[in-house]
Amino acid sequence: MKLTYYGHSCFAVEIGSTTLLFDPFITPNDLARAVDVNAVKADFILVSHGHADHLADGVNIAKRTGATVVANFEVANWFNRQGVAKTHPMNHGGTARFDFGRVKYVNAIHSSSLPDGSYGGNPGGFVIESSAGNFYYSGDTALTMDMKLIGELFRLKFAVLCVGDTFTMGVEDAIRAADMVGCSEVLGVHYDTFPPIRIDHADAVAKFKAVGKQLHLLKPGESREF
């Protein structure tokens, strides 16, 4: 699976000929200036929660690409209200089946108000299962024992975990999360975008390495095979 990082918590994963785009937040991100938002592909846009730093470009990309937005019920309805017709609403514990594989909406400990102040439901993460492999995206979350269930239920190729601290897990908690989900290949997200979430890259990578895990911190626009 080819993963492309677009800065903050936005990334795309290609499964065969299908592109899954997660948490689009590109044009407001000074660190993602190298990314051309109009060239970003998507067949599905998966949104973890209602905060603007996870969906700022979602409506425009959905309208340009015709992608289906996969999100919790309240966030999916918000996309409908912005004129995005194709949505697949979910809620915690539910699995959605698509041609590329299955999507499970899993728990996250965070908050989820929408940009217009409306209720964004409860925040989540996603587990993706496909014939090319499985992966977990935590969304914005604290470390939670619920992650143990993911380790018990799925064999993951990689995990995408928030590491920026302050609003989400920091590096130490992300290492424990990687342990709980049973995964040693981790893409770090939700760091550096704003001053309170700046991290020391070398220190973070070294902390993962010390426990036999790989933390990948990609530059916006950079891709990697998992």
Q: Which is nearer to Ni ion, 51 or 104 (CB)?
A: 51
> If binding is defined by CB under 5 A, does position 140 make contact with Mn ion?
yes
Stretch of residues binding Ni ion (CB under 5 A), selected from 49-57, 155-163, 191-199, 211-219: 49-57
- CA 33 remoteness from chain centre: 20
Stretch of residues binding Ni ion (CB under 5 A), selected from 28-36, 62-70, 82-90, 139-147: 139-147
Stretch of residues binding Ni ion (CB under 5 A), selected from 44-52, 57-65, 92-100, 189-197: 44-52
**List of residues 6+ apart from 107 with CB closer than 8 A:** 92, 124, 125, 141, 144, 146
Burial class (CB in 10 A: 0-12, 13-18, 19+), 163: buried
Alpha-carbon distance 165 to 200, whole Å?
Answer: 12
Q: Which is nearer to Mn ion, 47 or 128 (CB)?
A: 47
Stretch of residues binding Mn ion (CB under 5 A), selected from 43-51, 169-177, 199-207, 214-222: 43-51
Task: Give φ, ψ of 135 to 5 degrees.
Answer: -150, 165
Measured distance between the N- and C-terminal CA atoms of the chain, rounded to whole angstroms: 5
Q: Which is nearer to Ni ion, 42 or 162 (CB)?
A: 162
CA distances from 126 to 83, 92, 132, 198 (A): 24, 10, 16, 25
Residue 220, number of CB atoms within 10 A of its CB: 20
Q: Which is nearer to Mn ion, 1 or 186 (CB)?
A: 186
Q: Kindly write out the interface string for residues 91-130 of this chain, putting x where it contacts Mn ion by CB under 5 A and - elsewhere.
A: ----------------------------------------
Out of 43, 74, 140, 165, the only residue in the binding site for Ni ion (CB under 5 A) is 140
For residues 178 and 172, the answer to whether their CB atoms sit within 8 Å is no
Alpha-carbon distance 204 to 129, whole Å?
Answer: 28
Closest approach, Cβ 110 to Ni ion, in A, equals 5
Closest approach, Cβ 201 to Ni ion, in A, equals 22
Q: Kindly write out the interface string for residues 44-63 of this chain, putting x where it contacts Mn ion by CB under 5 A and - elsewhere.
A: -------x-x----------
Q: Which is nearer to Ni ion, 14 or 140 (CB)?
A: 140
Specify the DSSP element, H or E, that contains 129. Answer: strand 124-129
Name the site residues for Mn ion (rule: CB under 5 A).
51, 53, 140
Name the site residues for Ni ion (rule: CB under 5 A).
51, 140
